[in-house]
Chain A
């Protein structure tokens, strides 16, 4: 292993590869900031450039840099304009955007940069230590466990993402799952629920839905209530304060430590990935917080911002474990990276570490470098990045709408997609007016297909639903999921009963 690390160090520290990491991080950050262009599209665009480099290690180093940069860029747009281009940065906007609106955009970006750096670095260290061992853990999970794990993840999102209203959040999650069944299903090869519309043959586009759920309602709210943007402008003039105090540092340090570890472990499991890691990270920290701190979640809590940022970056490192050790992509992004590796004549799998240690270890070493470069690059650039808030409302809103429309159009090259976007955006605005949480819908949509695929596979393997009670880990995860939904509702109901009784006593 030591020999491998030394080979990796010598490859990653060559001048050319250092330049590639820096360029990758910069390109990733700048493009990742644009709503609608997430790591998947950016990596897909960069693949032809990476292949022309020729050396697989260098190509993968460039793409890994782009990946990290895009994740950070996505966080930046989530914080500044509440337009997460990537599902894994949706949770970042919960507290990042309120912080930016209250005039602490600089502080929010600093916390995001530090949490990303720490999460990514801890993830990379864990990857180096546990990669060989964790491959065996991931092998223990079958379709049944993946199904149960996803149900648990969705329950957690519904239980903690709904600002106390579990029923509404659950309803949104289920609506997202229903939307995911529209179009062709991978296992059945038949289009469903398209209503005869050719444009729905491949289902709703993820980017379209993400833009419709977040960017469009936010822009429409800015139009409806001009006071919101003037408050945002005020925030823009107060971005100068980038430093966080020692007390704030002490407050977020344990959160970053916990979420880096948890995020990494979730990232290792194929299918779970950075999105679940960030939401679970947010939910867990909200649960661990004191009652006063819980009140702050969703209104600009530093803990609420640091948790998803650390978790999603650690999960990115974690998602490289199944890719590099088993050849199984853990997420859409690593699936694209797998395609890039195959076109460079590299077959990832258990033999990669032995046969081509330079590729394996240089990618891991370049992750440290990537995170360090992101921190060095982004912290000084934060005041310039945050200037986005100073753009006048009359220009900012049409540009947000334009980037929203373009993000959706570039992916599909179909104007009908824009009409779908507008329709879904109006529906999302109505949901937001009625205080329905929108993130659970998007998460339900993203996990819907994987959930159904794993459910169908488990049903086929066990020739029926017996996997639900025959596999202890599956039943354990499902029981946990049910508890997650019903315990908060029960608590809420008990609190209401207590208040009612107290009121009756007072009236008497």
Chain B
């Protein structure tokens, strides 16, 4: 089965869970006076669950890609031939950045993110990379925190 139909199947599953919540779980906690209203918090989700479920089925059943169809920008059928490791490394790096932003502070975590990100992509000119990463993180912190007034903890949580 092609990837687009797998995704339609996943969306159909999401619609089922969403619809079950809207049709059977949400109305239980509704206050008695709200039950007289013509519209409940679950009304719109109930409509959406049906329409979305039917559309997902439409894609799943009737949307057959013609044989020999031209692949998209990146052909998922040849995904292993692309730089999958680099992409995975950068995704892991973003998760790491999210987890270390507060404990390590903005300056250190950002400089590390930029430097490790560039190294992951193959950059080896450390004499350029490290100053650029440090300068960019310092400049961004100054603009965001000092000029725009949005608080960003600059240093590790210990300080």
A426 touches B91 (CB 8 A): yes
B2 at the A interface (CB under 8 A) = yes
A52 at the B interface (CB under 8 A) = no
User: Which DSSP category, helix, strand, loop or mixed, fits chain A's interface?
Assistant: helix
Our pick among A224, A456, A463 for the contact of B84 (Cβ within 8 Å) is: A224
Interface residues on chain B, number (Cβ under 8 Å): 64
B155 at the A interface (CB under 8 A) = no
Looking at the assembled complex, report how far the CB atom of B13 sits from the nearest CB atom of chain A, in whole angstroms: 12
B95 touches A419 (CB 8 A): yes
Interface residues on chain A, number (Cβ under 8 Å): 59
Number of cross-chain contacts by CB at 8 Å: 163
Please indicate the chain A residues that have their CB under 8 angstroms from the CB of B55 in the complex.
167, 170-171, 174
Our pick among A192, A405, A410, A415 for the contact of B41 (Cβ within 8 Å) is: A192
A178 at the B interface (CB under 8 A) = yes
Question: Taking each of A228, A402, A459, A462, which has the highest tally of chain B beta carbons within 10 Å of its own beta carbon?
Answer: A402
Closest to B42 in A: A192
- Return the CB mask of A209-238 against B: 1 if under 8 Å, else 0: 000000000011101111010000000000
User: Whole-angstrom distance between the alpha carbons of A401 and B11 in the complex?
Assistant: 27
Interface residues of A (CB under 8 A from B): 45, 165, 167-168, 170-171, 174-175, 177-178, 181, 185, 188, 190, 192-193, 219-221, 223-226, 228, 393-395, 397-399, 401-402, 405-406, 409-410, 413, 415-416, 418-419, 421-422, 426, 430-436, 452, 455-456, 459-460, 462-464
Contact sample, A vs B, 28 pairs, CB 8 Å cutoff: A165-B63, A167-B55, A167-B59, A168-B4, A174-B55, A175-B52, A178-B49, A181-B48, A192-B45, A220-B87, A221-B74, A224-B74, A224-B87, A225-B82, A228-B73, A394-B121, A394-B123, A398-B121, A399-B114, A402-B113, A402-B114, A402-B140, A413-B151, A415-B99, A415-B101, A416-B98, A418-B98, A422-B95
A190-B41, A223-B87 known; 9 other A-B pairs, CB under 8 Å? A168-B59, A171-B56, A193-B18, A219-B90, A401-B113, A410-B144, A418-B97, A434-B72, A452-B44
Interface residues of B (CB under 8 A from A): 2-4, 6-8, 11, 14-15, 18, 21, 26, 37-39, 41, 43-45, 48-49, 51-52, 55-56, 58-59, 62-63, 72-74, 76, 79, 82-84, 86-87, 90-91, 94-95, 97-99, 101-102, 110, 113-114, 117-118, 121-123, 132, 136, 140, 144, 148-151
7 closest cross-chain pairs (CB), A and B:
A398-B117, A418-B98, A434-B4, A459-B39, A394-B123, A174-B52, A224-B82
